[in-house]
Amino acid sequence: MVGSMTDQGLYPDGEIYRSLLLALAENYKVDIALQILNEMTVRGFEPNLIGYRSLICALCKLDRREEASNLFESMLLQQWSPDEIVWTILIDGLVMEGEPDLCMKFLHAMEARDHAPTYQTYIILARQFPKDEKYVNTSLLVSKLMV
C-alpha cells in the first residue's frame, strides 16, 4: 500500500504509518512492520509507544527475542519518560504477554542507560508479576529491581 502511494507521488503521514505498523504487528507480519518502521523513521515520523509495544510483543511471540531486544534498545534512544516505557512496553506488553523474564532484561537495559523509572512505578511493576515461586515476595522483587 505504501509503495503504491509513493509511486503515485502520495506520501503517508505519521498517523497512516503508525496505523499500518500497529495493524501489521498485531497480525504478526513483523517483517513488513519492520520495513514500515524503518521507512517512517527515514521520513521523519516517530512511532508511538503502542506501536513499539505491539511490534516487540509480536517479535517475542514469534520467538525473535533478539530482534525485540534490539528494537527496545533503539527505542530507548527516543525521549519518552521511563515510567511511560514501563507502563506501556513492560507492564501492558511483556508482563501481560507472559514474558516476565524478558521484562526484567529490558528493565535492566533501561537502568543501564540511566532510564530508571520512579520508585512507585517499580512497586506497580512488581505487583504485576506472576505469583509463582520466582516472584512471590513483592518487596523482595522491588529490592531486586532497585539494585
Q: Where are the domains of the chain?
A: 2-145
Using an 8 Å Cβ cutoff, are 126 and 142 in contact?
yes
**Is residue 143 over pLDDT 90?**
no
**Which whole number is the average pLDDT over 76-81?**
89
CA distance 142 to 48: 28
Sign of CA dihedral 70, 72, 75, 79: negative
Residue 35, pLDDT score: 94
Nearest to 52 by CA among 40, 42, 63, 43: 40
pLDDT at 71: 96
CATH topology of domain 2-145: 1.25.40
pLDDT at 100: 87
- Does residue 139 have a pLDDT over 90? no
Position 54 confidence tier, pLDDT thresholds 50, 70, 90: very high
Model confidence at 136, pLDDT cuts 50, 70, 90, reads: very low
Number of helices and strands in the chain (H, E): 9, 0
pLDDT at residue 137 above 60? no
At residue 70, does pLDDT exceed 70? yes
For residue 21, what pLDDT band results from cuts at 50, 70 and 90?
very high
95-114: burial string, b at 16+ Cβ within 10 Å, e else: bebebbebbbbbbeebeeee
How far is the C-alpha of 71 from the C-alpha of 92, rounded, in Å?
17
Winning range, highest mean pLDDT, from 36-40, 57-61, 103-107, 124-128 = 57-61
Per-residue pLDDT band for 23 (boundaries 50, 70, 90) equals: very high
